[in-house]
Amino acid sequence: MDKRKLGTTNIEVSPLCFGSNIFGWTIDEATSFKMLDTVTGSGINFIDTANVYSYGLSEQLLGQSIKDLGLNRNELVIATKVRGQMSEKPNNVGLSRYHIFNSVDESLQRLQMDHIDIYYVHGVDQKTPIEETMRTLNDVVLTGKVRYIAVCNWPAWMVMKAQGIAEKNGWHKFIGLQYFYSLAGRDIEREILPLAADQHLGVMPWSPLAGGFLSGKFTRNTEKAGNSRRDVFDFPPINKERTYDIVDVIIETGKQYNVSAAQIALAWVRQQPGITSTIIGAKNIAQLNDNIRSTEITLSADDLQKIDAVSALAKEYPGWMAERQAADRK
Pairing of strands 202-206, 12-13: unpaired
Return d(Cα 73, Cα 66) in angstroms, integer: 8
Task: Tell me which H or E stretch contains 273.
Answer: none
What is the chain's percent helix, strand, coil content, to nearest 5?
Answer: 45, 15, 35
User: What pLDDT score does 275 carry?
Assistant: 98
Per-10-residue mean pLDDT for the chain, 330 residues long?
A: 96 98 92 97 98 97 98 98 95 97 98 98 98 98 98 98 98 98 98 98 98 93 80 92 97 98 98 98 95 98 98 96 93
Measured CA to CA in angstroms, residue 9 lies from 41, 149, 271 at distances of 25, 11, 21
Q: b/e string for 30-47 if b means 16 or more Cβ within 10 A? A: ebbbebbebbbebebbbb
Q: How many CB atoms lie within 10 A of CB 314?
A: 5
User: Which pLDDT belongs to residue 208?
Assistant: 98
Q: Can you count the helices (H) and strands (E) in the chain? A: 11, 10
Q: Which positions are catalytic?
A: 53
At residue 223, the pLDDT reads: 80
Count of all residues that appear for the chain in the document: 330
pLDDT at residue 227 in the model? 76
Confidence (pTM): 0.97
